[in-house]
Amino acid sequence: MQTSDSARESWPALMEQAQAGDQRAYTRLLKALVPVIRAQTRKQITDNALVEDVIQDVLLTVHRVRHTYDPAYPFLPWLMAIISARAIDALRRRGRHQQWEINDDAMPEVASPPDAPQQETQEELAGYLRQLPSRQRDIVEHVHLREMSLTEAAAHNNLSVAAVKSLLHRALTNLRRFGANHDRS
Amino acid sequence: MTDHDLLIEKLGREMQPVKPLRSTGRRVFTWLLLALPCGIAASFLVQRSFTDWAQPGALQAIFQLVLAFILGTLAIRSAFNISIAGRRSISWKALLPIGLLWLGMSISQIPGEVPIEHDNDSARCFTFLLVVSTPMMALMIASLRRTRALHPVRSLAMAGLGVSCMAVTLLAFCHPVHLHPLDFVMHLAAIVTIVALTVLVGKRWVTFDS
């Protein structure tokens, strides 16, 4: 979808209204930005799934730093800088993640522990996770097992970063309690 | 409805009015207004005697003090600008000539042939710079946290340079006009330490995910 120049010209005014608390102007602006963010991100990233993640990251970042936009300055450079920074962050994170995967693959077979205890540990972990409320379990899986950032987990679960932190804290407290009870029994 | 639409609807519902950021110039001015008195107050924790401005070479020391203040102000301004998306900031290359000039003047303040008496004051210079910069560093990190930083390390490094320059400015009011070589080394060591501390301490507070 090509965004017309006249629509783009309305973005600074929409953001100004959003800063003043106009929710309709804000959602209108964010919806108008999605195709632009997607097009810009695709210039840096080819993986479609990662592009969609970056779009969510950018929307969350725009939300978080909307007070830093000054209507006296043009809107697009502000947005483009955020898109570029978040896309680079996503690529860095993916690079780290892939490196871990490669290192895991490259490990010699003799170095891997025997299957039975590993399976036992996995079952034990799964048992603890099953005891958690579903929202807490999802957050632990996303942040600790899938190595998502807090922002990614927030976007994925449609929550704020603060809510993710809180859920994670509660989940870890519960897991510690389960572990302590298990050790005593 | 796509994931993005759901997120947008949620952000729209959560959205509260926000106070737009003041201009960078005003932010720098406010920071100076708060940070310098805090730095001066902290300086009373470290015992030092005031500079004797009647000594020969005092004029050069005043010029050096002004250079440090200008460099500090520009670095703080640059740190604020780097932290905001899409803003142009002064490159470190533009600050380099002022830094080099300050460095050259510092070296020229070291008496070459005549060894000057030294009361082992260098460690106290280092302590002074660190003590004075601590509240200024905290204020700087708090200011950057308000906007978060697109490039945290660059912003914080520039902020650390600004804070260290302000600490050097304050040191000029309670330091002999002539410089002992060891003093000079300790001043540089303190500047590097302040920049490193600002980056290390501030990073977790100013990133977007914090």
Q: Do A68 and B21 touch (CB under 8 A)?
A: yes
Please determine, for residue B115, whether its predicted confidence score (pLDDT) is greater than 80.
no
Q: Do B15 and A70 touch (CB under 8 A)?
A: no
Mean pLDDT over residues B170-186, rounded?
89
Please determine, for residue A109, whether its predicted confidence score (pLDDT) is greater than 50.
no
Provide the pLDDT for residue A170.
Answer: 74
Q: Count A/B contacts: CB-CB distance under 8 Å.
A: 94
Q: Do B17 and A19 touch (CB under 8 A)?
A: yes
In this prediction the pTM is 0.73
The amino acid at A31 = K
What residue in A sits closest to B152 (Cα-Cα)?
A85
Please determine, for residue A160, whether its predicted confidence score (pLDDT) is greater than 80.
no
The Cα–Cα gap between B187 and B179 comes to: 10
Q: Do A59 and B8 touch (CB under 8 A)?
A: yes
Provide the pLDDT for residue A120.
Answer: 67
Provide the pLDDT for residue A2.
Answer: 46
Band of pLDDT at residue B144, cut at 50, 70 and 90: very high
Token readout for B204 is 């977790």
Provide the pLDDT for residue B196.
Answer: 97
Q: Vertex B40, ends B36 and B43: CA angle to 5°?
A: 140
- Asked if A50 reaches chain B (Cβ–Cβ under 8 Å), the answer is no
Residue A67 burial by CB count (10 A; 0-12/13-18/19+): exposed, middle or buried? middle
Q: What is the mean pLDDT of chain A?
A: 79
Interface test with B, best of A40, A58, A60, A65 (most B CBs within 10 A): A65
- Asked if B124 reaches chain A (Cβ–Cβ under 8 Å), the answer is no
What is the nearest CA distance from A104 to chain B, expressed in angstroms? 27
Q: Do A85 and B84 touch (CB under 8 A)?
A: no
Q: Do B85 and A81 touch (CB under 8 A)?
A: yes
Token readout for B107 is 């070296």
What is the nearest CA distance from B157 to chain A, expressed in angstroms? 18
Residue A103 burial by CB count (10 A; 0-12/13-18/19+): exposed, middle or buried? exposed
- Asked if B4 reaches chain A (Cβ–Cβ under 8 Å), the answer is yes
> Which parts of chain A fold into alpha helices (H)?
5-9, 11-19, 23-42, 48-64, 75-106, 115-131, 134-140, 150-157, 161-184
- Asked if A14 reaches chain B (Cβ–Cβ under 8 Å), the answer is no
The amino acid at B129 = L
Q: Vertex B23, ends B151 and A70: CA angle to 5°?
A: 75
Band of pLDDT at residue A95, cut at 50, 70 and 90: confident
Kindly report, residue by residue over A15-65, the tens digit of the pLDDT. Answer: 999 999 999 999 999 999 999 999 999 998 988 888 998 999 999 999 999
- Asked if A136 reaches chain B (Cβ–Cβ under 8 Å), the answer is no
Contacts of A68 in chain B (CB under 8 A): 21, 84-85, 147
Q: Do B18 and A55 touch (CB under 8 A)?
A: no
The Cα–Cα gap between B2 and A17 comes to: 25
What residue in A sits closest to B81 (Cα-Cα)?
A68
C-alpha distances out from residue A167 to A132, A138, B204, Å: 11, 10, 20
Residue B38 burial by CB count (10 A; 0-12/13-18/19+): exposed, middle or buried? middle
Mean pLDDT over residues A174-181, rounded?
71
The amino acid at A26 = Y
